[in-house]
Structure 1
Amino acid sequence: MAGQQRVTVVTGGSRGIGAAVAVRLARAGHHIGIGYERSRRDAQETARAVRAEGVHAVPVQVDTSAEEQVERLFDTVRDELGPVTGLVNNAAVTGPLGGFTRTPSSVIRRVLDVNVLGALLCARRALLEMSTAHGGEGGSMVNISSCAATLGAPGEYVHYAASKAAVDAMTVGLAKEFGPQGVRVNSVQPGAVLTGMHAAMGDPDRAWRKAEATPLRRPGEPREIADAVAWLMSDEASFTTGAVLRVSGGV
């Protein structure tokens, strides 16, 4: 992809890890399509930070579990920024923390719809844009997983852990299928990171409590996850595909 104009879609890009990824990739020269579900104000703020790096940005509201909205996201980014060459599949939900038997079916269904179906729908559309078999020039995808995929998250959100294990399986399968078509697919597994997700789950101090069992004795910063994503999206990682990179402080 050396010399190619890079246009990357970042879902869940209005805040937290997604916003950090959008700005970090902008610094590396990517034009950014920012998918967001709710907060237009946050998305616009991320877009301003992206443009401050000298590239273009377009925020698009999207529920990634809805196929027609995913199509609109990619159509808009292509029309305004150019052919899509990258995807960071970051949009995800957890629901409240709690034991598995107390987790409502509606929460489980929503988590699977966004974290698994949404990631698959975005991946499929991105691959139709990037794959050389479909007229693209190749590209790169990074799926944001979680350490929960291998730790299981007992007593917290087993359903979320299961959804992220699915994301890692998707990563490996797509890497093998689309490597011959010019697309690299990798995954990043963050540990506890200082974002607003913990408060949304009902435990705003969770990242710091988790830090007690982390070898580095601290939670991660969104920029540290963004740096890992940026490397995987870069030409420096040109021989890396199908990898699941743990960025967790040693957990």
Structure 2
Amino acid sequence: MNEKPPAVRGNASRVDAFLAEMTAVRQLKPAPSLGRLIFALDATASREPTWRWASRLQAQMFEVAAEAGGLAIQLCYYRGFDGFETLPWHTTAQALRTEMERIGCVSGYTQVDRVLRHALAEHRRERVNALVFIGDAWEEDEEPLFALAGQLGLQGVRVFMFQEGDDPGVETVFRGIARLSGGAYARFDAGSPDRLARLLRAVAVYAAGGIRSMQALAGRGDAAIPELTRQLRQP
């Protein structure tokens, strides 16, 4: 009598078990991680025009970062006298823009320290590749800001400080925060949305793919990149 069928059934069962095991392993394997960028803005009353710029320019950040591995952005902002808010992480430009268009700027005090503390806390939950801050003023004691920047630097979170205007006191503090974190400083003015766009694209590419990706972007003619990468090489 032929005993082959039971053996075949046994082999099929083992194959089925093997395939089920491999499926489970694939499901457990983490998906490729996106770069994570915290996008922080001063949303006090004087910032309304720049806020509107930023809500449009963030789409370019997603677009250029896609070539370097992709990007997730979390918006955080302060306004009023004690208002500090964070939005969920977004991986599409339209979703983030919709959120930003609902937000208005309100007179109040600067809260740069809360931005830096938030970045530290978020990084402890899951790695943050970079923090970019856009503002034109600071009103806190500078020493705690520098201490927080140093902690971010030790954690590997570079801070990019982009100053609107040319106040020398603001520049000193913003440069100090950037330097102590291992990041970079740049400034723009109300008449240069194109420059802000180039700066934001550079940071997005850094968050998605690191310094080499930034340098590749420079090779495509982006003049803002060398200004930032020269600073990133410094301790």
* TM, length-normalised to structure 2: 0.46
| Structure (1 or 2) with the greater helix fraction | 2
- Greater C-alpha radius of gyration: 2
Q: TM-score, normalised by structure 1?
A: 0.44
